[in-house]
Amino acid sequence: MSARNARSTRYRGSVGSTRYDAVENRPVDEAGRLLDTDGSRTIGQLVADASREMSTLVRSEIALAKAEVTGGLKSGGKGAGLLGAAAFLGLLGLIFLFHTLARVLDIWLPISASYGIVTALLFLVAAVLGLMGKKAISQAKPVPEQAITEAKETVEAVKSSV
């Protein structure tokens, strides 16, 4: 039989509004845990509660940091994709530019004008995508600034309360 079961089997009942342990004649709480003689919680219970609360606090700080980093990485990934699209369209633009120059030398104006328009359009799209990608990457914040600030505030609060 475990100590917890032994403690609950020796419970004798209520005396007034406080319940007492039958063996040690000390007050117990609703869960059957022994309390100090004055009815307050023991040091062990206080330490266990503090440990549990610190674990909860650390878990929530880690969750906040994960959320911040994930958001920053998504923005950076989008920017990288836009830059990749800009590079691809820039390469296509160069191909058309060279093809246009070759056609200008070969056949004068009518056919080369159409290639020139396509080339200009591709470069324009590449420039717009490149600027959008650059802006998205510059806005990406992979450092969890809010989580770091909250952790520092928590450390200061703990230090000031001790």
Q: What pLDDT digit, counting tens, does each position of 115-149 carry?
A: 777 678 778 888 999 999 888 888 877 777 777 78
Ranges in the chain, pLDDT < 50: 1-2, 5-16, 21
Taking CA atoms, 134 is separated from 85, 138, 142, 145, 159, in Å, by 12, 6, 16, 22, 43
Separation between Cα atoms, residue 42 and residue 48, nearest integer Å? 10
User: Residues 55-59: contacts with CB within 8 Å, 24+ apart?
Assistant: 57/154
Tokens matching residue 138: 């510059």
Task: Find out whether 10 and 25 touch, Cβ atoms under 8 Å.
Answer: no
- Per DSSP, 30 falls in state T
- Amino acid 10: pLDDT: 43
Give strand pairing partners of 12.
Answer: none
- Amino acid 33: pLDDT: 67
The values of phi and psi at residue 89, to 5°, are -65, -35
N residues, the chain = 162
